[in-house]
Amino acid sequence: MAVIGVVGAGVMGVGVAQNLAQTGHDVVLIDKDEKILAEALAAIARNSRLSRLMGGPALDPDAVLARISTAVGAQGAAKADIVIENVTENWDVKREVYETLDAVCGPDTVFVVNTSAIPITKVGAVTGRPENVIGVHFMNPVPAKPAVELIPGFHTSSQTVQRTRDLLTAMGKKAVDVKDSCGFVSNRVLMLTVNEAAYLVHEGVATAESVDEVFRSCFGHPMGPLETADLIGVDTILYSVEVLYEHYADSKYRPCPLLKQMTDAGLHGRKTGRGFYTYNGADRPVASAV
């Protein structure tokens, strides 16, 4: 049985680790300190208990957790066959992570880049194995989303594509093939939408509740763009928009000042308890926070 390393125990890393474990994979969940890892395991147990209520399969939290070990530091990925990276959308942080992983992992280890916007070829270029680097853009919440974007870089080998596709199939995911381009398909569109929705609140055109209600009631979306921002993380939205703005040098990606202010203020959405909405223990939006 292959061992899958999951680097980054935030919202996305928690979802990826849970999805892997509940589909029978052995996982090493890796982050920079024990407290983060302990919180991640608690979140996985909680999410597993709630799985059936959220429309997913009935899960035994103990059985899910039994497949997940933890490690502090990238050395924990040394024996992994495939590493799925989920750290913040900050190029300096990602580059350092990949330089470290490249030094500790075996030459055949595949690096899966779970990124919202950063080009896969750029990531591959800082490793000595660009043929083993591939992008998979998981959607949040990971266990509940049936599809992902599969993004080979310029040098990604056909063997790496197939190994990754096989893993995704085993996780119950449909892989949608997308060429390497900053933001890919989903976030070239989604980040524009969320950023413009934030501008509507920033300019006083509508409240966050009203913006989201238009998308739910008029367009039939199950969740509005600002609820989505809170789910993904307002800080992650900002970093992704900044990557798009820098890469394309196009003013349509200009980051909304409100996203910057909220990020600085720690209003990052569900993971901090406040974003465009405030949240109670059931993670339901109860009132506008901005």
pLDDT digits (tens, 9 = 90+) for 234-243: 999 999 999 9
The single residue of 51, 114, 132, 187 carrying the catalytic annotation is 187
Contacts of residue 32, defined as CB under 8 A and 6 or more positions apart, other chains included, come to: 72, 73
With cut-offs at 50, 70 and 90, classify the pLDDT of residue 95. very high
Q: What is the pTM of this model?
A: 0.88
With cut-offs at 50, 70 and 90, classify the pLDDT of residue 288. low
CA atoms within 13 A on the CB side of 81: 11
Q: Is 137 a catalytic residue?
A: yes
The single residue of 51, 137, 240, 268 carrying the catalytic annotation is 137
The pLDDT assigned to 55 comes to 64
Q: Which CATH class is domain 3-177?
A: alpha beta
The pLDDT assigned to 54 comes to 64
Q: Is 149 a catalytic residue?
A: yes
How confident is the model over 38-48, as a mean pLDDT? Answer: 95
CA distance 270 to 153: 32
The pLDDT assigned to 83 comes to 98
Q: How far apart are the first and last CA of the chain?
A: 48
How confident is the model over 141-147, as a mean pLDDT? Answer: 93
The pLDDT assigned to 239 comes to 94
The pLDDT assigned to 51 comes to 80
CA distance 267 to 230: 9
Give percent above pLDDT 70 in the chain.
96
Q: Is 251 a catalytic residue?
A: no
Q: With 80 as the cut, is the pLDDT of residue 157 above it?
A: yes
The pLDDT assigned to 62 comes to 94
The single residue of 47, 51, 86, 116 carrying the catalytic annotation is 116
Q: With 90 as the cut, is the pLDDT of residue 283 above it?
A: no
Give percent above pLDDT 90 in the chain.
89
The single residue of 19, 51, 114, 149 carrying the catalytic annotation is 149
Q: Is 132 a catalytic residue?
A: no
Tens-digit pLDDT profile for residues 244-280? 999 999 999 999 999 999 999 999 999 999 999 999 7
Cβ atoms of residues 41 and 14 within 8 Å: no
Mean of all residue pLDDT scores within the chain: 94
Residue ranges covered by each domain of the chain: 3-177, 188-288
Tens-digit pLDDT profile for residues 51-71? 876 667 888 999 999 999 999
The Cβ of residue 174 has, within 10 Å, a number of other Cβ atoms equal to: 11
Tens-digit pLDDT profile for residues 115-140? 989 999 999 999 999 999 999 999 98
Cβ atoms of residues 132 and 42 within 8 Å: no
The Cβ of residue 223 has, within 10 Å, a number of other Cβ atoms equal to: 14
3-state secondary structure the chain: CCEEEEECCCHHHHHHHHHHHHCCCEEEEEECCHHHHHHHHHHHHHHHHHCCCCCCCCCCHHHHHHCEEEEECHHHHCCCCEEEECCCCCHHHHHHHHHHHHHHCCCCCEEEECCCCCCHHHHHCCCCCHHHEEEEECCCCHHHCCEEEEEECCCCCHHHHHHHHHHHHHCCCEEEECCCCCCCCHHHHHHHHHHHHHHHHHCCCCCHHHHHHHHHHHCCCCCCHHHHHHHHCHHHHHHHHHHHHHHHCCHHHCCCHHHHHHHHHCCCECCCCECCEEECCCCCEEEECC
Q: What is the CATH code for 188-288?
A: 1.10.1040.10
